[in-house]
With several copies, the nearest count.
Chain A
């Protein structure tokens, strides 16, 4: 992949792979897509891989002995190996889910299933007196399932606070993560603040007291080189649709021996050992956690997305986004009346910039931007408690990816200024 100045990727070459980026919106405005944090666009290569599966190899995987079924199974399992390699994992440690949300729920429900099962599952068991620890910056997907797990089992939910700068407040870690802690669940990268959390440090403390650690990597795997071994955690989850892949596929990675010991979540076909009318036994992982006909074409598409990102190089992706983040922090935060929620520096920070504009509601900021072709997200971004923490209801969020350039950020800045003029809050210059 050719690079231009400033450590940036050759965005023009990349954009040529994304048909949607050529379209216009709102009466002919070129699209400036700054909502990749919600979902990314998909390159031709991913769409082609999925279609090729449907048009040449489609069959139910792991269920047939005919040639199409063999090819489909091979495509599915090869995709698993590619995706596993992308995060430094073994293929048998990668479970396909429909998205990050299901992956988190899988672990949470497996733990409640363990609570009604025998002694052999005590490692996953939770009850009154036990604690689950999350953070105040979690996406609802990594918060509500744990609230519900605690409700079902009688365990207690506790959480790390967030500093004014938008960093995890680790000052109380030794109290918060203690002998009663059974699991710590935290985001690798915040989908609002951009903050990259010191996962390794938290994991070390958690392991010292015997707790399991789950990392929500929905916003990190797409943007940073992630190596599960290096992170030192037990479970890691992410979604395909945020990393150039198809919708409808996500990943749970889990340490081999944990998956082997863990009870299933969704039950049905293809995850069983034997089935009698009155009882059943389970297959080994990853099959144990993949009941029903899986999303094989989407797995193949996600593998193509991994290949696409690997061809660019994840270090290059991260460097590109770092440059964009520095540029955005500089130019957006410099606007009068604009307050960036999240770290002011680009270190340990991803390419997500959330902000408020004094005197204009985020919905109205977003509307003016949309009118100019600039697509951002407005609202609480499924991180309502985090917004409450900062005393605000909502923010406007711009999030960047491989196909974004400095020019896109210029368009954002001009759009914010236009909103200020339109609503009559333009600062005198």
Chain B
């Protein structure tokens, strides 16, 4: 029985009791992502707080809220994402995203940095199941997208 390598207790906990679920106002940008193979969806909102005058990579991720429909892996990963990213700067968040993406593509051979990924290290087992990687990444892609939109909107506004 290998099930436990994928469904770590941490994952099942986040799945059963998701953090920060439910869309909140106000927000800078929203993005809606769908996994075309299974139809799972996430709508995710990002609120950024500028560090200095401009909204850039130094801005703080003030809030992330989401609504979603999907499997345990996609639900848990959205929940873990909010815990990890809220309070970090955008640049730091992108680093976490890169680390998480690398872990997901590691085919089970990744050595996750627990200092960076915290609870998200529990997803190491998922990387052995290629069909589930998209589930784990769904909310992360939506966060990347919404964050990019937030920064772009700000730029447009400024120009």
Chain A interface residues toward B at CB < 8 A: 26-27, 62-65, 69-70, 73-74, 272-274, 283, 361-364, 367-368, 371, 378-380, 384, 387, 393-394, 422-423
Contact = CB atoms under 8 A, between A and B. Distances in A.
Contact of B39 (A73, A364, A379): A379
B72 interface: yes
Contacts of B27: none
Contact of A393 (B2, B3, B6, B69): B69
A380 B129 contact: no
Contacts of A380: 38-39
B144 to A, nearest CB: 15
A209 B41 CA distance: 42
Interface string B108-138: 0000000000000000000001111001000
Given A70-B129, A393-B69, A283 B36 contact: yes
Contact of B132 (A65, A368, A393): A65
Contacts of A73: 130-131
Range class of the B interface residue count = 20 to 34
Contacts of A361: 40, 70-72
Nearest to A368: B3
Contacts of B130: 70, 73-74
Interface in B7-52: 7, 12, 34, 36-41
B7 A394 contact: no
B7 A379 contact: no
17 contacts: A26-B2, A65-B129, A69-B131, A70-B130, A74-B130, A274-B34, A361-B70, A362-B71, A364-B71, A371-B2, A379-B37, A379-B38, A379-B39, A393-B40, A393-B70, A394-B39, A422-B7
B80 interface: no
Nearest to A27: B2
B158 interface: no
A311 B113 CA distance: 40
Contact of A371 (B1, B71, B132): B1
Contacts of A273: 34, 36
Nearest to B75: A361
Interface of B: 1-3, 6-7, 12, 34, 36-41, 69-73, 129-132, 135
Given A26-B2, A74-B130, A384 B39 contact: yes
Top 7 nearest A-B pairs by Cβ distance?
A363-B71, A361-B71, A379-B38, A65-B131, A393-B39, A371-B3, A380-B39
Nearest to B37: A379
A394 B131 CA distance: 15
A25 B108 CA distance: 17
Nearest to B34: A274
Given A69-B131, A274-B36, 16 more contacts: A27-B2, A65-B132, A73-B131, A74-B130, A273-B34, A361-B70, A362-B38, A363-B40, A363-B135, A364-B73, A387-B39, A393-B69, A393-B70, A394-B39, A394-B40, A423-B72
A26 B76 CA distance: 24
Contacts of A368: 3
B6 A367 contact: yes
Contact of A63 (B1, B37, B69, B72): B37
Contacts of A27: 2
B109 to A, nearest CB: 14
